[in-house]
Amino acid sequence: MSTKRKELNSNFFSSFLNVDYLSEEDKYIFKKEKQKYKFNVIGAGMIGHEHIKVTMLEGRATIHGIYDLDKKSIENTKRMFSENFPGHDLVEYRTLEEACHDPQVDGLIICTPNYTHLEIVREAVKSGKHILLEKPMATNLIDALEIKELADGYKGIFQIGLQYRYKAIYNESIHEAIERKSIGDIKTISIVEHRVPFLDKVNQWNKFSKYSGGTLVEKCCHYFDLLNLLAQSKPSFVYATGGSAVNFNDFEYKEQKSDVIDHANVNIVYENGVNTNFNLCMFSPMFYEEITICGDGGRLRAYENDDFLPVNRPNTHLEVLSGESKPTRISTPCYPSVIQSSGHNGGTYYEHKYFIDNMEGVSTTTATVEEGFWSIVVGIAAEESIKTGKVVYIDELLKRVHNEKATVSN
């Protein structure tokens, strides 16, 4: 049987239709692709569940085992796995070392709280296995620099979980603006995110900057990755305003008072002159994202909206306005429902698809460690700018961090 199938992906259909009446030899459309790889998930919380489900949906890999320090998270994940994927066993590891070095496993998906990433990566790279590290890669630039060093020359795939570039609206925006150059040379970019507050986590670590890196690192590195990608340049300086107007002002956990911001305006100017802005509000009654890119040959605007209302209207929209020089396009970018609903509007699915493609030697545009680093450079600069009320020059920030790292090393 040919391995280069052109028919629709049978993993979807065979998962949702009853095909028990067919023998294995009678399955062609419904024949599932053989699972070639095994992954361990380190960190069995909400995002760990998403990675587990998407791995099983994509079909070329299976989840072999999980590791987490929180017993309730472990039990909850084992229950979810048995309910959703009957017939598959799930190994529970006692130590991080066991999870990283199991010879049966091909890849590690790291989904632990941000502040633990460096410690886990130090162990994970000893295994030589392929690594998918959730964003942000670190909470500070000293840790991020060490992760960069650990990843330099690493023989396995080392991918950062910045999957927003694969959401349908951004995938199409990148295609139109960068590949087709539909709006000419890019001059300005604006991204908006309006959403509900941070959700609850084990030990509420995302409510404290020392554990998360701060809102603009923890959440917004996705958008800074997109701005960096679209600007096609390094950031020159950052100026930001923001604060905590509504969320968690009275929140305390184990005698610690929350210090994360819930709104911001971040201006980033790039070395090539591209001028960008990111607007955040985390006390809105919906999930809404919008990108507007203006070039010297037109304007692109795209949005994604989930407002919990019973109104029959598209959740996504893309328009490319080219004036009288080229055709204008208006469309509704989306993926099949099973992918769109699998996590981050399909972004996580394609992140996994391309992770395995990378493992198989197929070139993709997944986020590298270098790109992960620059996404948090902007976030850390923006957090500092809000605290000091000053412009943060990136060269000065990085020089200071390198000096601090040298001092720590000595």
Kindly report the CATH number assigned to the domain that includes residue 43: 3.40.50.720
220 and 305 in a single domain? The answer is yes
Residue count of the chain, please give it.
Answer: 410
pLDDT for residue 12 is more than 70: no
Mean pLDDT, residues 204-222 taken together = 98
Which pLDDT does position 16 carry in this prediction?
62
Confidence label for 38 from pLDDT (cuts 50, 70 and 90): very high
Mean pLDDT, residues 196-223 taken together = 97
Is residue 358 domain-resident? no
Domain-ending residue, one of 122, 141, 163: 163
> Strand, coil or helix: what is 395?
helix
Mean pLDDT, residues 57-78 taken together = 96
Burial class (CB in 10 A: 0-12, 13-18, 19+), 319: middle
Which pLDDT does position 11 carry in this prediction?
62
Confidence label for 23 from pLDDT (cuts 50, 70 and 90): confident
150 and 190 in a single domain? The answer is no
124 and 253 in a single domain? The answer is no
Which pLDDT does position 10 carry in this prediction?
58
pLDDT for residue 15 is more than 70: no
196 and 125 in a single domain? The answer is no
55 and 82 in a single domain? The answer is yes
Task: Give the pair of three-digit tokens for residue 177.
Answer: 């603006």
126 and 231 in a single domain? The answer is no
Is residue 409 domain-resident? no
Which pLDDT does position 2 carry in this prediction?
41
177 and 304 in a single domain? The answer is yes
CA–CA distance, 92 with 75 (Å, rounded to integer): 10
Amino acid making up residue 96: L
pLDDT for residue 391 is more than 70: yes
Give pTM, 2 decimals: 0.94
- Determine the longest span between alpha carbons in the chain, in angstroms: 69
What DSSP character marks residue 116? G
Is residue 89 domain-resident? yes
Name beta bridge partners: 404.
Answer: none
pLDDT in tens, 139-151: 999 999 999 999 9
> Strand, coil or helix: what is 277?
strand
169 and 207 in a single domain? The answer is yes
**What average pLDDT does the chain have?**
94
Is residue 91 domain-resident? yes
- The CA distances from residue 222 to 68, 192, 195, 288, in Å, are 25, 12, 14, 14
| Per-position DSSP letters for 5-43, written without gaps between them | --S--HHHHHHHS--TTS-GGG-STTPPPPP-EEEEEE-
Is residue 345 domain-resident? no
Confidence label for 168 from pLDDT (cuts 50, 70 and 90): very high
pLDDT for residue 99 is more than 90: yes
Is residue 351 domain-resident? no
pLDDT for residue 34 is more than 90: no
Domain-ending residue, one of 115, 135, 163: 163
Is residue 216 domain-resident? yes
28 and 79 in a single domain? The answer is yes
CATH number at residue 198: 3.30.360.10
pLDDT for residue 102 is more than 50: yes
**Which residues constitute the domain of residue 16?**
11-163
129 and 187 in a single domain? The answer is no
pLDDT for residue 366 is more than 80: yes
pLDDT in tens, 228-276: 999 999 999 999 999 999 999 999 999 999 999 999 999 999 999 999 9
Closest CA to 240 of 383, 400, 394, 375: 383
Domain-ending residue, one of 136, 163, 190: 163
145 and 155 in a single domain? The answer is yes
Which stretches of 76-231 are assigned E, i.e. beta strand? 91-92, 107-110, 130-134, 158-161, 186-194
271 and 395 in a single domain? The answer is yes
Please give the tally of structural domains in the chain: 2
pLDDT for residue 294 is more than 90: yes
CA–CA distance, 134 with 217 (Å, rounded to integer): 12
Amino acid making up residue 79: R
Closest CA to 318 of 173, 167, 192: 173
Which pLDDT does position 33 carry in this prediction?
73
Is residue 355 domain-resident? no
> Strand, coil or helix: what is 160?
strand
